[in-house]
Structures are given as C-alpha cells and as structure tokens.
Structure 1
Amino acid sequence: MTRLVDDYDLVIFDLDGVVFLGAQPIPGAPEAISQLDAEGVAAAFATNNASRRPAEVAALLRGMGVPARAGEVHTAARAAAAELARRLPAGAPVLVVGADALRAECAEVGLAVVAAAAEAPVAVVQGYGPQVSWAELAEACVAVRAGAAWVATNTDRTLPSPRGPLPGNGALVAALAVALDRQPDIVIGKPAPGLFEQAARRAGATRPLVVGDRLDTDIEGAVRAGMDSLLVLTGVASEEDAASAAPAQRPRFVGADLGALFLPPRLPAS
C-alpha cells in the first residue's frame, strides 16, 4: 500500500485544531506523530499562536505524548521579534500587545519592551494572548496614531477549541483596525510562507508536507511556499470547504485526521 507520507521527508504540523484542541490532544495525533518519529520521518511544528515560546510548546506537546523538541517549533511570535530586530536598532522601544511569551521573544533579540504609548515606542507588535485587555489595545491605538509601525503576528479570526471556534488574534487586530481605520503594516504568520520555509531549511528537507486545519492560513501558506498540503478535518475547515476552495487555498490532500498520513493519498472532491 502506498502511504501519503512516503513521498515526503518532512511533515510540518499546525498545532491548534491539528495536534490539540485547547489543553487536550486530538485523538490519534500523539500516536501518529510518534509513528513518524519511530520511522525516522522528520517533523516540525509551525504555529501562529503567539502565547507560548518554542520550548514551552515542545514541553506541552511532550506532556501530551507527542515527541517534540524546541528546535522543531516555529512560532509567529519568534518570527515577529526577529523581523523587528532586523528593522530596528538594538534597544529600540517596542510596545507589545499579547502574552508574556511575545514580550520575552522581543526582549531576547535586544528590543526594549514597553507597555505605554507615553514611552514613545517605535513599533507595536500584536499577538494572541488570552488576557489582552481594552487598556492594552488603547495604548497600541495611541502609539500607532503617533507614528509607530504596527506588526501583527497573525490575523487568524478564530482559534479552535473544544467549545467551537473562539476569537483569535485576528479578531483583536480587527478591533484595532476599526479604531485606526487602517490595517497592520506587516503580518508575520501564516499564510505568509516564512514559518514553513524556515522549518524546511532547518530540517534540510527537500520534499516537505504541510498539515493544517485552516484553508486561509495553513493551506494558503503552503501554496505560497510551493509545498504540498494535507487538510485534516479536526479543526476549522470541512471537506465541503476544501472542495469549493479557490486554487490559492486548495489543499493537495484531505484526511479525517493525522491517521491519513499512513493511508493512500485522498484528493479533495471536485
């Protein structure tokens, strides 16, 4: 039997809606990734969620029974901090809207993390954080109006959860966009191809496969990166969504869950 995974030397997994929902692993996901590890197939994890650092993500995954190492985890938070460090001088003040993980990533690359517009930040970076408040959005609004660049880690409208889709960072970005009557200057995470390209480079892969649950981030990002993709139906998108998707968001394959990696390839319905 020809298995889907046999044509690839790296599998890049999205996390929310693919490997876990909330604090619980998706049934079969730890076993599937463990099987890849046992067979010597490289794995990487690419997430737009900016609320955890790579080492924290890897530890969370290991706690769920998923073999994962910090170097295999690629986050939009780290990518956003790296992009700001490339654009700004060392010690530049940056206002962070999001979780402590995003603050830590910015501090680690030599930026000065501030919390108020009165501290004259030259940039605002906005990422998902479950405790983001109106007060933080207000400071960001004032800073951007004063001329600070505005960087979003991602614009995912929703975040999968056991209770159904919940507001994601895109919903918070949209609130600020309405107040400012403009969009962010830069969006770092998927569907931009950077996280996938970084994962392939680090693994030395020539034939990567992206696995995701969202057409507008995971699958579109794979298309932009020139990589094949597998849409799993454990998160946001449905099989009907895949069948009607435009070419820019159409997955190469569809499967019920990560067990599809070990089955013959199945194309989306036409």
Structure 2
Amino acid sequence: MNGSEQADRAAPRSAAGLPLLRLYDAVLLDLDGVVRVGSRPVPHAVPVLRGLRDAGRRTAYVTNNANRPPADVAADLRRWGLAVAEEEVVTSAEAAARLAADRCRHLAPVLVIGSQALRTAVAAHGLRPVAFERDGPAAVVQGFAPTVSWQELAEAGHAVARGVPWIVTNTDLTAPTPRGTVPGNGALVAVVQAATGAEPIVAGKPSPPLLREAARRAGAHRPLMVGDSLDTDVQGAHRAGYDSLLVLTGRTRPADLFAAPPHLRPTHLGRDLRALCAPPLVTDRRAEGWWCQGWYARVEDGVLLLEGSGDTCAGLRAACAAAWSAAPSLPDPFRALAMLDA
C-alpha cells in the first residue's frame, strides 16, 4: 500500500452521506477511555449507545481486564441506563479460556493463575481449573489479580517449563488504580518468561483472539472496532482484519497520530462516540496536499502546514493524511498543532 492509499483508508465514496455505523454490521467498543473514564461515562457516550440499541445495531463491549466477570461490568453499564446483557461484555479472560479449550480435551486440568473470574471462564469452556503443577495441567492460563503470589508464579513456571501451552489474557505492563499506575499482567507474565524463556500465546488486544471472540459473539462479519488507543485498539483491529474508529476521549493525542506507522493508523477518526452517527471524515488529494471538510494540509520543507476552519477533527484528519503520505520522515507538526488548538 503506497502513501496515498494508506493516507485515506476511510469508507468507500459510494457510501458518502451514510452514518458511519451504517457501514458495519456490529460495533465493538473498548471500555476505558471510550465508554467510561474511571467510574463515570465519557461525555456523549450514553445517548449514542442508547441510539445504537434503538437502531437495532449489534454491539459488544471489549476489555483486556480479566479481573472482573462480565456480569459485573454489564451491571455497571446498566446503572447508566444502558440495556447491556452479560453476553455483550467480552473480556480477555473469556478469550483466553476459548484458546485453552481449543487446545485441550474436555475436562482437562488447566493451571489457572489469576482471578476467580478467570477460573470461572475456564470452567465454563469445559475445562477443570487446578492450582498446582503436580495436578498435571494440560495448559497454563495466566491473568491479572492483585492477589497473585510468588508461589503461584512459580507453579506456572514449573508447568510452562514442562512445555504445556501457556496462554495469557493480556500483556499490558501497567494497570490504572485510584492511587495511580501499578504493575499489570504483562509484568507478571515477564516473571514467568524470565524464568522459562518461553513465549506466551496472548488472548487480549492487540492480539486478534479477543476481537474475534467479540465479533463471533455479536454475529458480525464486518465489525467496526472503536477505541482510544493506537497500540492496543487500532493495532488489534488491524491484526484481526477489521476497520477501526479512533476517538479522542482517552489516551491518544494528535501528535501520536501524526507519528503513527501504518499498522497503528485508524481507518476512521472522531472526537467521541458521536462520530458513529455522522458520515465518516474522508480526505481528497489536491495539488500537493490533502483536503477534508474546509481544511487543507500539506508538508512543505519538512513542516506540516494546516489551514482552514470548522470542525477541528476534520482538520486533524487532513493533517494526518498529509503526515502519513510524507512517511517515513515525520514532518514537524508544531504549526499544525497550533492551528488545531486555536
């Protein structure tokens, strides 16, 4: 794919004018930074999600968090007035359990390191959770829980060293808490990896299994992944072969987008979930630059230039197209960022 093609991976021109959600048969939604921030909903998220339900659009809520069961997550969302069933919440624990079930016989013992939610997911897939290597596990499934101990990691290390499949829910190195950032499951995985030299099978984003499990649950053939992160949500969609919508309500900032390599570039861009209800932002190549809804961006002498007015998200879309078409060199984005902040 050349620079021009990569710069605009948006919807086909024949679909111009249709709301973005009409171009897909299901919407897969990351939770943190997209639907909620801490214990509060992201602005505009609740009315948009209610609208998706009223329109009969299939949804799945996707999270790398393997510590909480889907029923608890769904109950949290229902407190905001969202009609969310337990089956619509798909966690990395469930994706990891399916991977284990695909590799083990029915009722095979599986060493589970992590939360009760992970043990429940493994049992629900017809396997028998065990706690010790001496139980002869056919696989190891590892996820995060704040109670995971050195002894549990040692049991995992013994089993993994024996050569059984080692499946981990996710490899996020950190996890957010009310007191700040703490070591995440990726840090615990690294302990076992350092002791054994083994490479785990990863269920959660950006690996494809979690998103494919969510699409299967939603009965989707052409889902749209909505996230706030380039390295997990967008890259995960790319690896699974799905289109993505990046919303600017979480981790990603404009400068991150300008520098994104091809596998981290979203198909669509939106300020928040309201982008699902509007036509996608589409860029046009004009002269030496890119045009999007009243904004024009180009790279000149190594500087990313942007001019125009109106929706600054359209300006960002044009600026991304110009920056990406200039790759692999990254133009200086200072002047473009100043226009977007004006």
TM-score bracket for the superposition, by shorter chain length:
0.7 to 0.9
Task: Encode CA deviations 1:169-225: one digit per residue, 9 max, x unaligned.
Answer: 2222123222323321x1122223233334334434344211012222211121123
Segment drifting more, 195-204 vs 225-234? 195-204
1:163, 1:214 → 2: CA distance? 22
Q: In the alignment, what sits opposite 1:88?
A: 104
Give me the TM-score of the superposition, normalised by structure 2: 0.70
Whether 2:27 is the aligned partner of 1:22: answer no
Residue in 2 that maps onto 1:129: 145
1:21-62 CA distance string (max 9 Å, x none)? 333332332222112212332211122221233333222221
Instruction: Label 1:41 to 1:51 Cα distance change in 2 as closer, same or farther (>3 A).
Output: same
- Equivalent of residue 268 in structure 2, options 253, 256, 265: 253
CA distance in 1, matches of 2:236, 2:273: 19
Partner Cα distance (2:95, 2:137) in 1: 19
Could you tell me which residue of structure 1 aligns to residue 225 of structure 2? 210
Percent same amino acid among aligned pairs?
A: 52
| 2:62 corresponds to which of 38, 42, 46 | 46
- The aligned counterpart of 1:189 is 204
* C-alpha distance 149-72 of structure 1, shift in aligned 2 (>3 A): same
1:231 paired with 2:227, answer no
Task: Please say if residues 125 and 152 of structure 1, whose CA atoms lie closer than 8 Å, have aligned partners that are also in contact.
Answer: yes
| CA pair 235-179 structure 1, distance change in 2 beyond 3 A | farther
Distance 1:237 1:134, change over 3 A: farther
Matched, 1:175 2:175: no
Distance in 2 of aligned mates of 1:110 and 1:208: 28
SS at match of 1:189: coil
- The aligned residue for residue 71 of structure 2 is 55
Question: Which residue of 1 is the match for residue 305 of structure 2?
Answer: none
Counterpart amino acid of residue 151 in structure 1: I
Q: 1:85 to 1:2 in 2, by over 3 A?
A: closer
CA distance in 1 between partners of 2:267 and 2:181 (Å): 24
Cα distance in 2 for partners of 1:20, 1:80 equals: 24
Q: Structure 1: how far apart are the matches of 2:250 and 2:176? A: 6
Which structure's CA Rg is the greater one?
2
Specify whether residues 238 and 172 from structure 1 end up closer, same or farther in structure 2 by C-alpha distance, changes over 3 A only.
farther
Please state how far the C-alpha of 1:100 moved relative to its aligned partner. 0.4
Superimposed CA distance per residue, residues 138-165 of structure 1 (whole angstroms, 9 cap, x where no aligned partner): 2212222233321111212333556665
Q: Contact (CA 8 Å) 1:11, 1:208: kept in 2 or not? A: yes
RMSD, aligned α-carbons: 2.4
3-state SS of the aligned residue for 1:125?
strand
Unpaired runs of 5+ residues, structure 1, are: none
Provide the secondary structure at the position in 1 that maps to 2:220.
coil
Return the letter of the residue paired with 1:259. Answer: R
Corresponding position of 1:33: 49
**Number of paired residues?**
269
Aligned twin of 1:115: 131
Distance 2:138 2:25 in 1: 41
Render the CA deviation track for 1:217-248: whole Å, top value 9, x for unaligned: 21112112322111123333322222211111
Deviates most, 231-240 or 94-103:
231-240
Provide TM-score, normalisation by structure 1: 0.87
- Residue pair 2:95, 2:213 contacting (<8 A) in 1 also: no
State the alpha-carbon separation in 2 of the partners of residues 97 and 193 from structure 1: 22
> Where does the alignment leave 5 or more consecutive residues of structure 2 unmatched?
1-16, 282-316, 324-342
Contact 2:99 2:167 (C-alpha < 8 Å) held by counterparts:
no
1:4 and 1:161 mapped to 2: Cα distance? 34
1:11 aligned residue: 27
Distance in 1 between residues matched to 2:90 and 2:244, nearest whole Å: 17
Q: Which has the higher contact order (CA 8 A, sep 6+)?
A: 1
Q: Is the CA contact (8 Å cut-off) linking 1:96 and 1:125 kept in structure 2?
A: yes
1:144 alignment partner in structure 2:
160
Distance 1:112 1:198, change over 3 A: closer
